[in-house]
């Protein structure tokens, strides 16, 4: 009852009202989505949609030429990138880079944007490796889910900073995960806010479900396996202490996650290593030249 008096935003959806950032993602996403899923779309048409945005064009070229893909030859045109990387993958990466540019600043007393995205990208890279080990198709969508898993927190820092101050104060006093403290003080957590954002952006339902359940993957329905991938990728990013989105400890790990993903503890050093090798390069690509 107490928290309802404190919080005028009684549901995650209320938090989205008046958020002008919502529309810009939908425009990029919807136009590309229409083009990709239309049978008649040519590589040239997709190329021209992307090239209308100079910043996006530059970012995508940096990504396809990075260690992330590791192509032997330089790819210097978007049309070549579309052909080599594939339209769905390029679409997913477009989405990730577009969202990163939406949130440019939050109150520094919580976390810096740099540390926030470092954690998110590390989670995305770990998720991509885990998905590859599981022979999932289109591993880029796991990268995007990792990038977005904590995006709800950015909106909370921005819209309800006073309540987030209270969350940080209580989190320092009580040995419990941050998302539990968010639920106690605000009435919902960053995973619910992230899911509401993704829904408002009209992104795929799989992303919404994975983000909503990344702390409690066993509650996911259609995309439980995907939610487990992000759950473990998040734990790996925390263990690597690559950046931070607000939580200072490794969140609780579902005891069945390892078995469900068919993991072997021997994979973990290599996952750390792969994330380390790609992290700085991917972060540079996201931030340089916005």
Residues that bind another protein (CB under 8 A): 133, 175-177, 235-236, 238-241, 249-253, 255, 258, 263-270, 272-273, 277
CB of 274 vs another protein, minimal distance in Å = 9
For residue 248, count CB atoms less than 10 angstroms from its CB and return exposed for 0-12, middle for 13-18, buried for 19 or more.
exposed
Instruction: Decide whether 137 or 264 has the Cβ nearer to another protein.
Output: 264
The CA-to-CA distance between both ends of the chain, in Å, stands at 43
* 3-class secondary structure, 220: coil
Instruction: Decide whether 20 or 255 has the Cβ nearer to another protein.
Output: 255
Tell me how far apart the alpha carbons of residues 132 and 182 are, in angstroms, rounded to a whole number.
Answer: 33
CB of 58 vs another protein, minimal distance in Å = 30
CB of 44 vs another protein, minimal distance in Å = 34
Q: What is 86-128 written as a DSSP string?
A: -HHHHHHHHHHHHHHHH-----TTT--HHHHHHHHHHHHHHHH
Instruction: Decide whether 203 or 233 has the Cβ nearer to another protein.
Output: 233
CB of 265 vs another protein, minimal distance in Å = 4
CB of 247 vs another protein, minimal distance in Å = 9
Tell me how far apart the alpha carbons of residues 240 and 234 are, in angstroms, rounded to a whole number.
Answer: 10
* 3-class secondary structure, 1: coil
Instruction: Decide whether 45 or 241 has the Cβ nearer to another protein.
Output: 241
Instruction: Decide whether 39 or 264 has the Cβ nearer to another protein.
Output: 264
């Amino acid at each position: 009852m107490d928290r309802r008096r404190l919080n005028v935003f009684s549901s995650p959806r209320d938090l989205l009202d008046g958020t002008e950032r919502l529309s810009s993602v939908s425009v990029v996403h919807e136009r590309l989505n229409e083009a990709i899923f239309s049978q008649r779309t040519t590589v040239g048409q997709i190329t021209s949609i992307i090239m209308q945005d100079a910043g996006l064009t530059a970012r995508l070229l940096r990504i396809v030429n990075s260690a992330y893909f590791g192509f032997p030859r330089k790819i210097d045109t978007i049309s070549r990138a579309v052909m080599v990387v594939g339209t769905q993958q390029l679409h997913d990466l477009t989405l990730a880079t577009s969202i990163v540019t939406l949130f440019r600043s939050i109150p520094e007393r919580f976390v810096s944007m740099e540390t926030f995205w470092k954690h998110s990208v590390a989670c995305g890279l770990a998720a991509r490796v885990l998905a590859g080990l599981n022979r999932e198709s289109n591993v880029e969508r796991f990268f995007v889910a990792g990038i977005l898993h904590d995006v709800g927190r950015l909106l909370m820092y921005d819209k309800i900073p006073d309540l987030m101050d209270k969350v940080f104060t209580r989190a320092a006093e009580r040995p419990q995960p941050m998302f539990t403290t968010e639920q106690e003080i605000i009435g919902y957590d960053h995973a619910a806010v992230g899911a509401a954002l993704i829904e408002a952006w009209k992104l795929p339902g799989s992303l919404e479900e994975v983000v909503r359940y990344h702390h409690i993957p066993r509650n996911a329905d259609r995309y439980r396996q995907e939610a487990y991938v992000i759950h473990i990728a998040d734990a790996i990013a925390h263990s690597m202490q690559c950046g931070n989105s607000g939580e200072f400890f490794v969140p609780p790990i579902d005891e069945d996650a390892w078995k469900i993903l068919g993991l072997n503890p021997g994979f973990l050093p290599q996952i750390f290593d792969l994330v380390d090798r790609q992290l700085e390069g991917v972060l540079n690509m996201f931030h340089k030249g916005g």
